[in-house]
Amino acid sequence: MIKKIKSIINHLSNKSQLNENTTEDGYQKYSCLFIKKRSLELNAIKESLNLLWDIHDQKHSYHRTKLLDVYHGIYRDLYEFENEGVLRIRKGDKVAIEAGICWLEADPYCFRSGYLLKKIAKAFARYPQHLSKKQKKRLQDVILKRINSLNHKSWRYYDRIALNIQDNKFMNKVRKISKSTNTIHSQRAQNILDYIQNH
């Protein structure tokens, strides 16, 4: 176990790795690949920390401290977008909008990811006027993917996004899913149809 944990620490603690995609504007690094990679790294460290948490000898304590340092570094690198980035989406900042769409497309599962995804979805739901036609199409694909996912808890605000980015092609796809034999998928699709019809 210690050998595996040492490998994780050595692999992730390199500062150049943590900043490999950083640019002057601060948010262009948030590609889908970057987000997925960082979320997987957080999950790997969290799993190792869980193994070490109840072991209190000096050697394990040292590795636990090192892992926590790496975890916090990656966490800051991944989540610095959470506050200022969401605010910039609301103001129509093009780089932040692109980063926000990448977050929704990547749909990472790690600590606090659900909270950030909801904040981003809420921003797009309230400020759709900043989106280009191509970006609206990408968000349509995000919504269709969410509808058809096996289990997705961060559903809130996607119906509001759908209201503002809909077109005939998208609506036809949602109607088709609403007739699916999968009750979860069909109900999600119907919820979107009902929301749009009532607004």
Task: Using CB atoms within 10 Å of the CB of residue 113, give its burial: 0 to 12 exposed, 13 to 18 middle, 19+ buried.
Answer: buried
165: left (phi over 0), alpha (psi -120 to 50) or beta: alpha
- Each residue of 21-49: pLDDT tens digit? 444 445 556 777 778 787 788 777 777 77
8-state DSSP, 115: H
Torsion of CA 27, 32, 34, 37, to 10 degrees: 150
pLDDT value of position 18? 39
pLDDT-derived band at 16 (thresholds 50, 70, 90) equals: very low
Average pLDDT of the residues in 97-101: 91
pLDDT at 197 over 70: yes
CA angle 60, 62, 68 (to 5 degrees): 100
Would you state the structure tokens that stand for residue 149, as one six-digit string? Answer: 């996912």
- Each residue of 118-129: pLDDT tens digit? 899 999 999 999
Enter the pTM of the model. 0.76
Residues 6+ apart with CB under 8 A from 180: 186, 189
pLDDT value of position 182? 92
pLDDT value of position 121? 92
* Cα–Cα distance, 63 to 171 (Å, whole number): 52
Q: How remote is the C-alpha of 95 from its chain's centroid?
A: 16
Residues 6+ apart with CB under 8 A from 28: 21, 95, 98, 99
* Cα–Cα distance, 40 to 43 (Å, whole number): 5
Percent of the residues in the chain that have a pLDDT greater than 90, as a whole number = 39
Task: Tell me what the pLDDT averaged over the chain comes to.
Answer: 80
pLDDT-derived band at 73 (thresholds 50, 70, 90) equals: confident
Would you state the structure tokens that stand for residue 5, as one six-digit string? Answer: 């944990």
Per-domain residue ranges of the chain:
1-129, 131-199
* Cα–Cα distance, 49 to 41 (Å, whole number): 12
